[in-house]
Amino acid sequence: MQFAIAGKAPEAKDTPPEQFVFEIGSITKVFTGLLLAQAVVDQKVTLETTIGSLLGAKVQFADPRIAAITLKQLSTHTSGLPRLPANAAAGMVEGDPYANYNEKLLFAYLAAATLDGDGPYSCSYSNLGVGLLGHLLGKVYAKGWEDAVVTKICLPLRMQNTKVQPDQKLPRATPYAADQVVKEWHIDALAGAGALRSTAADMMKFGTAMLKPEQTPLKDAFAIAMTTQADAPALGGQIGLGVFLGKFDGAAVYHHGGGTGGYRTELQVIPAQGSVRVVLINNDSLEGSAVIAATSEAKPKAPVVHQEIKLPVATLEQYPGVYEIDRDTRFTLLLRDGQLWVRLTGQPFLRLFASGPDRFFYKAVEAELVFQREQGAVKSLTLLQNGNEITAKRTADPLPSVTLRTAKELQPYSGSYAVIGMKNIAVTVRVGTLFAQLEGQPAMPVFEAAPDRFEYDLVKAELVFTRDDQQQINGLTLLQNGMTLPAPKVMNRSSGPKP
């Protein structure tokens, strides 16, 4: 077992690096999934126990389909619940988005929530779902979620420093967003989705237990949690209870990542290789998954040389549409001036180039799209990338109204905007796309739906830019969750027009 540190850690003093405390973010979901498995072993619940049966008269559900959601569905992100509850903003504190989201708000959401259509639902990542699962399991054990995790999982695995607030004597890695110190996060009712803190030493103990579960006191629970429970197509694999199953260098792997305001983490377990990797980062500018990807021992493949062919516009007109992987992840294909452009949710539009009938390739990344037909009509597509194949079905959803502009045309929108009552939004241009980043959160692409109006595709929100008498951009308004938040542009010497 080896530990290493990169960078400086003045707060550590003489403490070994494996004893620094980090927020592990969504790796917490693996612990909550294992707690569900242990509750099954303890005969407290079954995987098919419903949230309605556990909440009883505490919540009067407007939609009986919400009450019928099972604990397994919560853990596997197949409940149909959204990523976050509609009333999440009511619990937000500046720089600490979950701090005041309590049981009262959670139950109010569940009482009013409705689902679109009947299940089963495809896997669609939901902090809300796993947070609710943790809250319910805390009640099942009559001791609260954290106490249940500590007593049922951490202590049996000899993980003394994994809890919401570990020993204060241990140094904490200061959280950063790029070069700015940010707040630690505090999570109330949704703690099961991401509230744990831990050390590299403890996380290696956990990974080793996953590597050899039969040698642990939790072997029966691990057997349930690490068994495939649902497909997770958007992630190129499957999911057990809280833990994702996939491939790394061709070997079966268990994995999960995490990210809070100033931390990024990753856990990877490869049984066939006897390998456990844990990455804990106290900065949001580098993903743990990228660090692990750099450890790949696979020999680089020679770049595939694609031969571009020209297709008539009448043929290209057959492909535009919205192709769904799951409820929150989709490809959007547009035809603009005889060119096909494609966007995967949360990413920029990239141009496609034809290499054959129903086959296209990207030049910006090493990937291809292959379209499938039924009775002559295009019905689905498959993304071929990094040895993975992900299929998306064509929907009847209308195409969004999007104007594609050059980086030069988008540049006037870039800058820093001071949102009243919140931190600044940084607007930048990357790969010909406008990105907006609220301090302490990831940058997200936004797309022009109308002049000076840009929409997110990851969340329901808009940025409407304003201009002064000289038609220079002087501010924006953030529209989200019924809120209208003005944000003047932070002016400096470089903010004016360029010669």
Record the tokens describing residue 301, joined without a space. Answer: 């493949």
Instruction: Please tell me whether residue 30 adopts helix, strand or coil conformation.
Output: helix
In DSSP terms, which residues pair with 418 in a beta bridge?
A: 424
Range of the domain at 64: 10-293
Shared domain for 371 and 342, answered yes or no, is yes
Shared domain for 50 and 191, answered yes or no, is yes
Question: Domain for residue 303, yes or no?
Answer: no
Q: Where are the alpha helices (DSSP H) in 216-337?
A: 219-225, 288-293, 313-316
Record the tokens describing residue 197, joined without a space. Answer: 């803190």
Looking at 260, 293, 326, the residue that finishes a domain is: 293
Query: What contacts 21, CB < 8 A, 6 or more positions away?
Result: 161, 166, 170, 171, 172, 173, 197, 198, 199
Q: 């969340």: which residue's tokens?
A: 459
Shared domain for 324 and 353, answered yes or no, is yes
Record the tokens describing residue 440, joined without a space. Answer: 């302490």
Looking at 394, 429, 447, the residue that finishes a domain is: 394
Shared domain for 435 and 379, answered yes or no, is no
In the DSSP assignment, the letter for residue 283 is B
Instruction: Please tell me whether residue 467 adopts helix, strand or coil conformation.
Output: strand
CATH number at residue 484: 2.40.128.50
Question: Domain for residue 183, yes or no?
Answer: yes
Query: What contacts 84, CB < 8 A, 6 or more positions away?
Result: 127, 128
Q: Where are the alpha helices (DSSP H) in 340-467?
A: 407-410
Q: Where are the alpha helices (DSSP H) in 251-327?
A: 288-293, 313-316
Element containing residue 136 per DSSP (H, E): helix 127-140
The total number of structural domains that make up the chain? 3
Per-residue pLDDT of the chain (499 residues; tens, 9 = 90+): 788 788 777 776 778 889 999 999 999 999 999 999 999 999 999 999 999 999 999 999 999 999 999 999 999 999 999 889 989 888 888 788 899 999 999 999 999 999 988 877 889 899 999 999 999 999 999 999 999 999 999 999 999 999 999 988 899 999 998 888 989 999 999 999 999 999 999 999 999 999 999 999 999 999 999 999 999 987 768 999 999 999 888 889 999 999 998 999 999 999 999 999 999 999 988 899 889 988 887 776 777 789 999 999 999 999 999 999 887 789 999 999 999 999 999 999 999 999 999 999 999 988 999 999 999 999 999 998 876 788 899 999 999 999 999 999 999 999 999 987 677 899 999 989 999 988 767 789 999 999 999 999 988 899 999 999 999 999 999 998 778 889 999 975 444 433 3
CATH number at residue 109: 3.40.710.10
- Identify residue 153 by its one-letter amino acid code: I
Shared domain for 186 and 107, answered yes or no, is yes
Closest CA relative to residue 112, chosen from 187, 179, 62: 62
Residue pair 80/69 in contact (Cβ under 8 Å)? The answer is yes
Shared domain for 282 and 145, answered yes or no, is yes
Question: Domain for residue 179, yes or no?
Answer: yes
Query: What contacts 476, CB < 8 A, 6 or more positions away?
Result: 417, 425, 427, 463, 464, 465, 466, 486, 487, 489
CA angle 217, 221, 227 (to 5 degrees): 135
Shared domain for 425 and 390, answered yes or no, is no
Distances (CA, A) of 417 to 5, 252, 412, 474: 35, 45, 13, 9
Shared domain for 219 and 367, answered yes or no, is no
Shared domain for 372 and 465, answered yes or no, is no
Closest CA relative to residue 234, chosen from 458, 56, 12: 458
Q: How far apart are the two ends of the chain, measured CA to CA in Å?
A: 58
Whole-number Å distance between alpha carbons of 226 and 76: 12
Shared domain for 197 and 264, answered yes or no, is yes
Shared domain for 16 and 141, answered yes or no, is yes
Query: What contacts 4, CB < 8 A, 6 or more positions away?
Result: 17
Record the tokens describing residue 371, joined without a space. Answer: 């379209």
Phi and psi (nearest 5°) for 12?
-80, -30
pLDDT tens per residue across span 131-186: 999 999 999 999 999 999 999 999 999 999 999 999 888 999 999 988 889 899 99
Shared domain for 263 and 135, answered yes or no, is yes
